[in-house]
Structure 1
Amino acid sequence: MSRGTRLLLAVVCGVAVASVYAGQPVLEPMGRDLGVPRDSVGWFVAVGQLGYLAGLVLLVPLGDLLDRRRLIAAHLGLVAAGLAVTAAAPVAWVAFGGLAVAGLFAVVVQTAVAYAASISPPGERGRNLGVVTSGVVVGILGARIVTGSLADLWGWRSCYLVLAVLAAALGVLSFFALPTETRTETERYGQVVRSLGRLFTRPVFLSRGLIAFFLFASFGTLWSGMALPLAGAPWHLSEAQIGLFGIAGLAGALGAARSGRWGDSGHAGRVTGVALVLLLGSWLAIGQLGWSLALLIVGVVALDFAVQAVHVSNQHILTTTYADRTSTTIGGYMVFYSLGSASGATATTALFDSAGWTGPAVLGAALSLCALATWALARRVVRSPSLPLASPCGTAINDSCGQGAYR
């Protein structure tokens, strides 16, 4: 894969995922403008996540059947349409509809990741995935910085309008710049979707998916709820100031970009364990938000480093284990991601309203502990001598390639 292709796919991922998370730093003004109660504003993020979930099941498997270049271009165009509707929404239900459409087609991220995995030589797959998926984290966290600043200048609607223009432009660029894929498969759409269902019975897939669920629920707990205490006493920060915390998260996430290379060297399992311990520890610092912004920044950097390291390791293991079903596998894995993020987003705003920041902080730590326990249990199961190891690497229903990555 050329450097230009890696960069383009990373930018596509960043803009698409930003369309789902752009509302995080502007939840309060969005809710106030559209008449949504404070304890329900988390739904501005959750609706996009639920649309994303539907897209993972219904749209991402198309990447194993059709030219991914055309899919990337078309889905970006539809993301742009959903964002434009949100920017112009006169009432809450219109905004929710636009966000659902944008979330549905934002699964172009997974098509881009699967495309990167499929055209990468085995020895470079982790490195390329690390670069491309870094665009996801840049999009999630960079959106906080940009949308916060735009909201201060021109209101929250400008955030969605700018993202709509970017998505449309990237759709055109992707159509002309990415190489066409030649597909020789004779399978039907229904067969590919059914193969997605079978993945949920496979040990490596299921364990990595559960880790992702807890991982991104913890991530969503922080980033969907942090704006609320920072906007209140004792800090009283503006949307732009709150958005700047994305820089700390961005630094942590980009610091983990090398985790893909560690995966290429066979250390994905160890990287996951160490990163999950770091994730749990990060909540000790994040929990001090009420009296120390410095500790909050330390916690944010640690959390986002851990999340990115685990996420890249998960995808490296899964695309190696299920090499002929990269789109379907990534789509299925991201179902766990979507459910986790949506759960974290809705739970943190409700908990904050009833228990202050202590509630989300305890929840984030508990979710991190669950992810660590899942990883430890999965290692024990994979090392069990009773687990069948006979299948050759690369088949759609085989786990044997991924087992070594746990060690």
Structure 2
Amino acid sequence: MTTTSPRSGTDAPATAPPRALVVLLAVACGATVANLYYGQPLLGEIAGAFGVGEGTAALVVTLTQLGYAAALLLVLPTGDLVENRSLVTRVLLGTAAALALAALAPSFWLFGLAAVLVGVTSVVAQILVPFAAHLAPEDARGRVVGQVMSGLLLGILLARTVASLVAEVLGWRAIYAISAVLMLVLAVVLRRVLPTRRPEHTAGYGSLLATVVEIARTEPVLRARALCQGAIFGAFTAYWTAISYELHDEHGLSQAGIGVFALVGAAGAAAAPLGGRLADGGRGRSASGLMLLLASLAVAAAGLGSAHLWVLALGGVLLDLAVQSHQVMAQQEIYALRPEARARINTVFMGTVFLSGAASSAVTGALHEAGGWAAVCWFGAALPLLGLAVWALRLRPGAGTATSVG
């Protein structure tokens, strides 16, 4: 049975949401964001199935990312306009339809269309995160967001492994069919258990998009937090983009072995609740600087100790811990800036992070070809230091940045 929350986006509930609901939101975030990554380890099978070259098959990844980027800008802000429970369930139904099309597509170009639609509709994960923030009181918001974010990170980290294992047993199309069914189940369950939330913004969709620009312009903390998270996420992207080459070429791991190695990064997801508790305790800004430094040291260590598999694994765990903790602490702070505009704030934040990751991925490919793993690691170690510079100027305690402007 559903409940109704207050209309006002500024009215926080008195108690934290039930743990079962938080776990459900975490599972939903992980399952939906995983759709963005299922195709990456399957490109060889996709190329063979449709009779296209590997370069053409790689367009699947690009098309999915383009769809997701468009949705961050055009769909995510509607979380501040449309009743949230209905929005989530409708987008999930769209995700299920897109995944079913991918599973059944008879041609590559129809599969490419499905990839775009999967990217667009998988933005539901980013709608659920600010929704979770609305469900939590101020003193527990960091913890709740951290728990939901742990599910999202697990979805990112485990998607490639799960897709590879399912494809080996059932064929590459099976993961899309299985996920389509899962999206339908989630749509039904969330429709039944989520409370309703009617946003305050009523001026229309065009006005909504215009205020995204205004929010980015007038909130210095949001800009600084987005830049710092973009820098640390760029290091995360560089590490996980190039690590498979290092594991295969230098350590002789098979594709299955590389998939198992990716599981070690899942340990970093456990950091999300810790980051949330630090933020709830008022230590989010100080700890953010430490996480940026930890990320830089983790990638540097992975470069210097690359001859040892355990060093690479430790670097991955510490990097994931730093990235996840920093993001939760950042979101705890930015969601307090304008409670009625959390979806639009998330548009600015995640749009910056996503574009930073995409740029890092492109640079990483060129660097690895030119200088190998070492070049990638020096690049990855430098990015969080750039974020640390922004933190020192704008976010460290005593730096003088206002919490909200306008």
Does TM, normalized by the shorter one, top 0.5? yes
TM-score, normalised relative to structure 1:
0.87
Whether 1:82 and 2:135 are equivalent positions in the alignment is no
5+ residue gaps, structure 1, are 401-407
Task: Identify which of 237, 242, 259 aligns with 1:225.
Answer: 242
* Residue in structure 1 matched with residue 118 of structure 2 by the alignment: 102
Whether 1:67 and 2:83 are equivalent positions in the alignment is yes
Moved more, 96-105 or 322-331: 96-105
After superposition, the C-alpha distances for 1:212-266 in whole angstroms (9 at most, x for unaligned) are 222222222222332333344541412x322222321111221342110110111
Distance 1:243 1:191 in 2: 45
Moved more, 310-319 or 337-346: 337-346
On the 8 A contact 1:129/1:260 being kept in 2, the answer is: yes
* Residue in structure 2 matched with residue 213 of structure 1 by the alignment: 230
* Residue in structure 2 matched with residue 134 of structure 1 by the alignment: 150
Tell me the amino acid that sits aligned with residue 63 of structure 1.
G
When the two chains are superposed, the root-mean-square deviation of aligned CA atoms in Å is 2.5
Tell me the amino acid that sits aligned with residue 348 of structure 1.
T
* Residue in structure 1 matched with residue 308 of structure 2 by the alignment: 292
Tell me the amino acid that sits aligned with residue 214 of structure 1.
A
5+ residue gaps, structure 2, are 1-16
Tell me the amino acid that sits aligned with residue 70 of structure 2.
A
Distance 1:155 1:357 in 2: 32
On the 8 A contact 1:128/1:260 being kept in 2, the answer is: yes
On the 8 A contact 1:12/1:170 being kept in 2, the answer is: yes
**Residue 344 of structure 1: how far off its partner (Å):** 2.9
* Residue in structure 1 matched with residue 290 of structure 2 by the alignment: 274
Are the structure 2 counterparts of residues 259 and 101 from structure 1 closer, same or farther at C-alpha, using a change threshold of 3 Å?
A: same
Distance 1:198 1:11 in 2: 33
Task: Identify which of 148, 161, 166 aligns with 2:177.
Answer: 161
* Residue in structure 1 matched with residue 7 of structure 2 by the alignment: none
Moved more, 349-358 or 96-105: 349-358
**Residue 113 of structure 1: how far off its partner (Å):** 1.0
On the 8 A contact 1:134/1:257 being kept in 2, the answer is: yes
Whether 1:11 and 2:27 are equivalent positions in the alignment is yes
Are the structure 2 counterparts of residues 49 and 64 from structure 1 closer, same or farther at C-alpha, using a change threshold of 3 Å?
A: same
Distance 1:256 1:115 in 2: 17
Task: Identify which of 374, 384, 404 aligns with 1:368.
Answer: 384
Are the structure 2 counterparts of residues 260 and 92 from structure 1 closer, same or farther at C-alpha, using a change threshold of 3 Å?
A: same
**Deviation above 6 Å: which 4+ runs of structure 1?**
none
Moved more, 362-371 or 88-97: 88-97
On the 8 A contact 1:218/1:367 being kept in 2, the answer is: yes
Whether 1:193 and 2:213 are equivalent positions in the alignment is no
Distance 2:264 2:190 in 1: 30
Whether 1:320 and 2:332 are equivalent positions in the alignment is no
**Residue 380 of structure 1: how far off its partner (Å):** 6.7
**Residue 308 of structure 1: how far off its partner (Å):** 0.3
Are the structure 2 counterparts of residues 248 and 12 from structure 1 closer, same or farther at C-alpha, using a change threshold of 3 Å?
A: same
Distance 1:291 1:258 in 2: 31
SS at match of 2:273: coil
On the 8 A contact 1:24/1:224 being kept in 2, the answer is: no
**Residue 168 of structure 1: how far off its partner (Å):** 2.0
On the 8 A contact 1:43/1:346 being kept in 2, the answer is: no
Aligned length: 388
Are the structure 2 counterparts of residues 103 and 184 from structure 1 closer, same or farther at C-alpha, using a change threshold of 3 Å?
A: same
* Residue in structure 2 matched with residue 403 of structure 1 by the alignment: none
Distance 2:109 2:307 in 1: 37
**Residue 292 of structure 1: how far off its partner (Å):** 2.2
After superposition, the C-alpha distances for 1:99-140 in whole angstroms (9 at most, x for unaligned) are 221111111112111111112111111111011111110111
Moved more, 261-270 or 183-192: 183-192
TM-score, normalised relative to structure 2:
0.87
Tell me the amino acid that sits aligned with residue 60 of structure 1.
L
**Residue 68 of structure 1: how far off its partner (Å):** 0.6
Tell me the amino acid that sits aligned with residue 211 of structure 1.
C
Whether 1:116 and 2:116 are equivalent positions in the alignment is no
After superposition, the C-alpha distances for 1:138-182 in whole angstroms (9 at most, x for unaligned) are 111121331232233233332333222212221121112212224
